[in-house]
Homo-oligomer: A and B are copies of this chain.
Amino acid sequence: MTNDSLVAELCSVLGAEAVLTDADVTAGYSRDQMPLAPSGTPLAVVFPTDVDGVRETVRACAEAAVPVVPRGAGSGICGGANAVDGCVVLVTTKLDRIVEIDPDNRLAVVQPGVVNLDLREAAAKHGLFYPPDPSSYDWCTIGGNLATNAGGLCCVKYGVTTDSVLGLEVVLADGSLLRTGRRTVKGVAGYDLTKLFVGSEGTLGVITQATVALRPLPQAPATLVAAFASAGAAGAAVSGIVREGLVPSLLEIMDATTVKAVEAYLGTELGTGSDSGALLLCQSDAGGALAKRELAAIEQVCADAGAELVHSTDDVAEGNLLMKARRVVHYALEQRGACMTDDVCVPRTRIAELIEGCERISAEVGLTIAVCGHAGDGNMHPTVVYDATAAGEAERARRGFDAILELGLSLGGTVTGEHGIGRFKQDWLAREIGPVGLDVHRRIKQALDPGNLFNPGSMFSPT
């Protein structure tokens, strides 16, 4: 099948309006939010509206030996949805129905194009809660969340995406439709294919439907902020919180560089002392007296760790203001230059070492590195800030970025806590999982996608 006849076939199957081929238009679907990952020029970008459209697209591409790159909203930051030359980008945003919410069994059935926030709001109407909340929750889709096993601020208490998924419907490389998992809370019939597809970054199939578990909607959160003279002291507080058996619903850390950038961006002091070395932000959604007790215990741990200031509030508006400081970090840093955001996850006892190591790396490469992250689970996002127009800076930024990954591994961590591997960290995946791990990945890919149809070259090279 020629490229022309494949496009004609896709137009015939999906309708011409669902197939884009104008290079000026398709360029907008050729990459995600990671500027440095490679991307190619797609042959076409298609928007199926139902599972049959997905199956026909996959079948036609398989027959033509044209790669399929599945894509959600494109909010990813590892190049996992980036096009390869001549591929068909299969956009799932028009599969956007919330098929069912079953409050009595606390579950929802959704198509992949549903925006995370829309599912959250629909669940909330039933007093229920879909926990995974990546920063892009107001525009990223469930399909992308499933593909990357997305995390967010909630993970310290509620886990990541895979912890909320009960079952999937997946279109395989031969166009057949696989149903994994179940609608029940428990189930051990066969291999856990559901959790194999979650986080597989579109390399094994196209997810066309998911059954997800919902939780009771938590109480409005009470919020605590604590300032420390050093990252070491803040890290000691995190370890103390873990050791005391406390499980807040949110526990974020921001280093001094991040705090200063945020203060400049918001045009206000956070009121935590201008020379504080690190800030912890913490919430409890346990409600009422229990939340008060949880935050009081955390306040005590922070004080014991030498906090210079600790402040708690159960006022939701004040809590939102404090949280705003965390939510604007990315925008605040972008004021200062181009940003390369890392995503290492280290044991929670090693957070201070990671921050201190980033200071060292910052000095070595001569660039600002601001560290913030999900302290409660050790998932840190050091951001290298650089001038993309200055000679050699992008190269130095990449050197800093890689040194942080190296540091994360040396601290017993992983090279990605929630963003994924995509087209950006393949070498690091190989290094983290080793030759046996890589070989097992290749064997599974070969078993399920022998023609290397789906997202080829992403995550790892198949040979």
Contacts and interface: CB of A to CB of B under 8 A. Distances in A.
A433 B190 contact: yes
Interface string A83-125: 0000000000000000000111110000000000000000000
Given A127-B245, A243-B104, A186 B378 contact: yes
A434 B347 contact: no
A76 B184 CA distance: 22
Interface stretch (A17-25, A327-335, A417-425): A417-425
A130 B396 CA distance: 45
Nearest to A460: B190
A45 interface: no
B149 A192 contact: yes
Interface string A156-180: 1001101100000000100011111
B448 A440 contact: yes
B436 A377 contact: no
B429 A190 contact: yes
Nearest to A443: B447
Contacts of A444: 191, 444, 447-448
Interface stretch (A196-204, A255-263, A385-393): A196-204
B437 A178 contact: yes
Interface string A427-463: 0110011101101110110111000000000011000
A196 B190 contact: no
Contact of A191 (B106, B196, B349): B196
A179 B245 contact: no
A104 B447 contact: no
Interface in A242-262: 242-243, 245-247
Nearest to A348: B105
Contacts of A376: 185
19 contacts: A104-B348, A162-B192, A182-B414, A184-B414, A186-B378, A188-B199, A188-B421, A190-B421, A190-B429, A191-B444, A193-B437, A195-B196, A196-B196, A216-B245, A216-B247, A289-B289, A290-B290, A446-B447, A447-B447
Interface of A: 102-106, 127-128, 148-149, 151, 155-156, 159-160, 162-163, 172, 176-180, 182-193, 195-196, 198-200, 216-217, 239, 242-243, 245-247, 289-290, 345-349, 374, 376-379, 412-421, 428-429, 432-434, 436-437, 439-441, 443-444, 446-448, 459-460
Given A105-B242, A182-B413, 12 more contacts: A105-B349, A148-B188, A151-B188, A184-B414, A185-B345, A186-B379, A186-B417, A188-B417, A188-B421, A192-B196, A216-B246, A444-B447
